[in-house]
Amino acid sequence: MIVVTGANGFIGSVLVEELNREGLTDILCVDPVSVEQRPGNLKNLKYNKLISEKDFLKTLSEDNDSIDFIFHMGACSSTTETNKEYLTENNLNYTKKVFQYCTDKNIGLIYASSGAVYGDGNEGFSDETDPKKFKPLNLYGWSKSDFDVWALEQQQTPPQWYGLRFFNVYGPNEYHKENMKSVVCKAFEQISKTNSMKLFKSHNPQYEDGKQLRDFVYVKDITRWMIELFKTKKAKSGIYNMGYGEARTWLDLVTPVFKAMNKPVQIEWIDIPENIRNQYQYFTESKMEKLMSQGLSKPQWDVEKGVMDYVSNYLMKR
């Protein structure tokens, strides 16, 4: 049996769909949000059952031998969360328990880290740099960084384990994420209502408005790579970046949304809120050489192709 935590969330639910495509249906879904509360993400997908994250810890403590592999996508994913104890419990301590279970049972683990560990990028964006050098810009980033550091220090580990540093992921099934939704999803909603899109001005003289750079990656690239890591027995355990590998501007991202909706580009520039201005990243770009060296497929969805697929085949059909 395969376990997917965060299964009723964004990346987790797309992963369950990808596993189904591979003919895999013996899946235990774990999520604090029930199907009744959020019916859309797991609709029409095949899995055994959905249990809460608390019940899953009980399952692990019952010495369960039916689990073959764990995809641990469940966590607090809010980059603006200010409750340190909550983040420590959910993103650090919970993941330690899952890691230790996989070690004890000798089963594989893939867990979600984050590109947020790199902070302002002063130390670069390489997954081969000692993670202790990074200074994340928010508590969420620290919670992910602290676990990466802990995992790399362990002498006893699962036989295969991969910590994946997701960069700016966008795609279907993120609709519930409120303020944490991708700019593609927000753009579609705003353009539908007002025919225009609000974007942050630049408060850095090195970047023009809308020319701030990010590594945007489509969720379908992410889940395909996860399946490839799950299936291969050759990839070296450790931490890997997961982005497209090429920084693009915010304007590059939203222009295809207007195009897919058949509307002229109209941008309204707004100030970055004071509470996040000091933790705002002006440039992110994942170094993908380490992941590619493990024989995985190249990114298949550039911004133009990914946004067109997302808007045309998902957002416009909701």
* CATH code, domain carrying 180: 3.90.25
> Is residue 57 scored above 80 in pLDDT?
yes
pLDDT-derived band at 280 (thresholds 50, 70, 90) equals confident
Does 120 share its domain with 94?
A: yes
Give the residue-averaged pLDDT of 263-283: 92
- Structure confidence by residue, pLDDT tens digits, 114-154: 999 999 999 999 999 999 999 998 899 999 999 999 999 99
Q: What is the pTM of this model?
A: 0.96
Residue 242, SS3 per DSSP: strand
Does 146 share its domain with 31?
A: yes
- Give the span between the Cα atoms of 290 and 126, in whole angstroms: 9
Domain harbouring 43, CATH code: 3.40.50.720
Note down the domain range covering 23: 2-170+217-246+283-301
Q: Does residue 177 have an active-site annotation?
A: yes
In this prediction, residue 130 carries a pLDDT of 97
Does 130 share its domain with 225?
A: yes
Q: Contact, 241 vs 289, CB < 8 A?
A: no
Does 242 share its domain with 188?
A: no
Does 51 share its domain with 19?
A: yes
Nearest residue to 271 (alpha-carbon basis) of 211, 209, 229: 209
In this prediction, residue 80 carries a pLDDT of 72
In this prediction, residue 261 carries a pLDDT of 98
Does 166 share its domain with 61?
A: yes
- Give the span between the Cα atoms of 169 and 19, in whole angstroms: 19
Question: Positive or negative, the Cα torsion across 129, 135, 136, 141?
Answer: positive
Q: Contact, 155 vs 317, CB < 8 A?
A: no
Q: Quote the mean pLDDT of the chain.
A: 96
Put residue 172 in one of left, alpha, beta given phi > 0 → left and psi -120 to 50 → alpha.
Answer: beta
pLDDT-derived band at 64 (thresholds 50, 70, 90) equals confident
- Give the span between the Cα atoms of 26 and 49, in whole angstroms: 9
Give me the half-sphere count of Cα atoms (radius 13 Å) on the Cβ side of residue 268: 9
Does 193 share its domain with 151?
A: no
- Give the span between the Cα atoms of 46 and 135, in whole angstroms: 41
- Structure confidence by residue, pLDDT tens digits, 260-270: 999 999 999 99
Does 78 share its domain with 224?
A: yes
Does 159 share its domain with 122?
A: yes
Name the catalytic one among 140, 218, 240, 244: 140
Amino acid at 205: P
Name the catalytic one among 46, 96, 177, 263: 177
Give me the half-sphere count of Cα atoms (radius 13 Å) on the Cβ side of residue 152: 17
Scan for tokens 């007002």, then name that residue.
194
- Number of H helices and number of E strands within the chain? 11, 13
Give me the half-sphere count of Cα atoms (radius 13 Å) on the Cβ side of residue 41: 27
Does 191 share its domain with 133?
A: no
- Structure confidence by residue, pLDDT tens digits, 65-104: 899 999 999 988 777 777 888 888 889 999 999 999 999 9
Q: Does residue 140 have an active-site annotation?
A: yes
Domain count, the chain: 2
Does 242 share its domain with 256?
A: no
Residue 30, SS3 per DSSP: strand
Tokens for 188? 């579609």
Geometric angle at alpha carbon 191, from 188 and 192, rounded to 5°: 80
Does 152 share its domain with 11?
A: yes
